[in-house]
Amino acid sequence: MIAGLGPGLITRVALRILREEGPVALARRLRRRIAILLEQRRRSYSDWIAAFDTLGEVDLVNLRAAAAALPHRPLISVIMPVHETPRRLLEEAIASVSAQAYDNWELCICDDASTASHVAAVLAAASAADPRIKVTRRVENGRIARASNDALALATGDFVAMLDHDDVLRPHALFCMAEAIGRHPDAAILYSDEDKIDDAGRRFDPYFKPDFSPELFLGQNYLNHLTLFRRAEVVAAGGWRPERDGSQDYDLALRILARVGAARVIHVPRILYHWRATAGSTAVATGEKSYAFTAGLRALEDHVAAALPGARVEPVGGAPYYRVVHPVPEPLPLVTILIPTRDGGAVLDRCLTSLVARTDYQAFEVVVIDNGSAARETLALLESWPRRDGRIRVLRDDRPFNFAALNNAAAAKARGDLLCLLNDDVEILEPGWLREMVSLAVRPEIGCVGAKLLYPDGSLQHGGVVLGIGGVAGHAFKHTPAGEPGHFWHLGLRRTVSAVTAACLVVRASVYAEVGGLDAEHLAVAFNDVDFCLKVREAGYRNVWTPFACLKHHESLSRGAETTPEKRARFERETTTMMARWGEKLLNDPFYSPNLTLAREDQTLGFPPRLHPLA
Which stretches within 526-593 are classed as H helix? 528-538, 565-582
pLDDT tier, 610 (very low <50, low <70, confident <90, very high otherwise): confident
Q: Is it the case that residue 38 has pLDDT exceeding 60?
A: no
The CA distances from residue 341 to 370, 424, 475, 568, in Å, are 5, 6, 23, 21
Amino acid at 53: D
- Contact partners, residue 601, CB within 8 Å, separation at least 6: 466, 469, 474, 475, 476, 477, 478, 479
The answer to whether 431 and 549 are in contact (CB under 8 A) is no
**C-alpha to C-alpha distance for 453 and 460, rounded to whole angstroms:** 6
E strand or H helix that includes residue 474: strand 473-475
- Residue 36 sits at φ, ψ, to 5 deg, of -65, -45
Q: Is it the case that residue 378 has pLDDT exceeding 90?
A: yes
The predicted pLDDT at position 516 comes to: 98
Neighbours of 520 (CB within 10 A): 18
The predicted pLDDT at position 565 comes to: 81
Q: Is it the case that residue 289 has pLDDT exceeding 80?
A: no
Residue closest to 572 by CA, chosen among 525, 504, 520: 525
- Cis geometry, peptide bond prior to residue 331 (ω within 30 degrees of 0): yes
Q: For residue 440, give the 3-state DSSP assignment.
A: helix
Out of 4-18, 258-272, 368-382, 592-606, pick the least confident: 4-18
The predicted pLDDT at position 8 comes to: 43
The answer to whether 321 and 310 are in contact (CB under 8 A) is no
Over residues 187-236, the pLDDT tens digits come to 999 999 999 999 899 999 999 999 999 999 999 999 999 999 999 999 99
Q: Is it the case that residue 252 has pLDDT exceeding 50?
A: yes
207 DSSP β-pair partners: 194
Amino acid at 344: G
- Rounded to the nearest 5 degrees, what angle is found at the Cα of 38, between the Cα atoms of 33 and 41? 130
The CA distances from residue 444 to 25, 332, 392, in Å, are 57, 16, 28
- For 49-86, the DSSP string reads HHHHS---HHHHHHHHHHHHT-S----EEEEEEESS--
**C-alpha to C-alpha distance for 579 and 581, rounded to whole angstroms:** 6
Over residues 119-158, the pLDDT tens digits come to 999 999 999 999 999 999 999 999 999 999 999 999 999 9
Average pLDDT, the chain: 92
